Amino acid sequence: MLHPVFIEGDLIDKFRDHLLQYPYYHVIHEGLTDLGCSIERFSNIEADGIINSFKKSDFPLACHLGSKSTEKFFDYHIALRYGNDKKEVFVYELVVREEKEKNIINGLLMAFYLLTISRYGIEKMLIPYNLTSLGTIDDINVESISNNLTLLTLKK
């Protein structure tokens, strides 16, 4: 079973080790998108940079496998920071494994649902990535703000 967890405490070191062991695409780094990124295993310095970005974020999320699995992390990990107010977040970091496009969308939607349909009070998520190809989603408004900036909000 997959579920999001906050990367904190002892999970930070486990996440760092995971980044060194498995190849990832670093799609969004410090709020900037790299659409041409290639899949790679991170060096110690790169993994430390990612960990520091996750530590600085307000919502450092990992997709996590259930307790019966030996694999503690999985296909997408996302760090978000507050935007203009406490009702808005923006994607600060996003690392995904194969299948790149599928996991980008899954990671973004997982974070959006967790933060908007819960106690966190988030109403909007800014993504430095063009998601207009998603089209209409039942309960989510997908609005292109500019060429590579998408706004997600819940439909009312």
| 14 half-sphere exposure, CB direction, 13 A CA radius | 14
Would you state the pLDDT for residue 11? 86
Is residue 100 predicted with pLDDT exceeding 50? yes
Would you state the pLDDT for residue 1? 45
Q: What percent of the chain has pLDDT over 90?
A: 50
Over the stretch 16-73, which tens digit does the pLDDT of each residue have? Answer: 998 999 999 999 999 999 988 999 999 999 999 999 999 999 999 987 655 555 555 6
Tokens 């190849």 correspond to 23
Q: What percent of the chain has pLDDT over 70?
A: 90
Name residue 142's beta-bridge partners: 152
Would you state the pLDDT for residue 102? 87
Whether residue 140 contacts residue 153, with contact meaning beta carbons closer than 8 Å, is answered with yes
CA nearest 106: which of 131, 126, 138, 70? Answer: 131
For strands 88-96 and 124-127, give the pairing. Answer: parallel
The one-letter amino acid code at 65 reads L
Tokens of residue 109, six digits: 């939607």
3-state secondary structure at position 108 = helix
Whether residue 63 contacts residue 109, with contact meaning beta carbons closer than 8 Å, is answered with no
Over the stretch 57-72, which tens digit does the pLDDT of each residue have? Answer: 999 998 765 555 555 5
Q: Distance (Å, rounded) from C-alpha 41 to C-alpha 46?
A: 9
The arithmetic mean of pLDDT across residues 125-131, rounded, is: 91
Q: What is the pTM for the complete model shown?
A: 0.89
Would you state the pLDDT for residue 23? 93
Tokens of residue 133, six digits: 């190809």
